[in-house]
Amino acid sequence: QVQLVESGGGLVQPGGSLRLSCAASGFTLDYAAIGWFRQAPGKEREAVSCISLRNGATYYAESVKGRFTISRDATKSTGYLQMNSLKPEDTAVYFCALGTFGTQVSDFRSWGQGTQVTVSS
């Protein structure tokens, strides 16, 4: 059984930065990737970024490329999403997930509860 807990969300002004954390517990060795997704009100959950736990390969959505950076610690017990130059359209609930390296919700099997990110003046 795996549990994921996101933290680090909050209210930030446009142009500001936040770093989201995803703490994993339980048996995680079967998972090949960490993914970050976001969901705004009335919209579908969309992939933001993912990183392979095996070779470090990364994916970024075009909307966040150059602004967000995904990483994980050496033990692979915590994942991070560094978000810079935040825009109002980044406002959403952000979820971390464990699964296979991909960009679809169905690629990921374990999910956190989400953390709210609000970008507003």
Can you tell me the distance from the alpha carbon of 54 to that of 76, in angstroms, rounded to the nearest whole number? Answer: 10
pLDDT at 75: 77
- Which residues lie below 8 Å from residue 23, measured CB to CB, with a gap of 6+? 4, 5, 7, 77, 78
pLDDT digits over 58-116, tens only?
999 999 999 999 999 877 788 999 999 999 999 999 999 999 999 999 999 999 999 99
Query: What is the radius of gyration, based on Cα positions, of the chain?
Result: 13
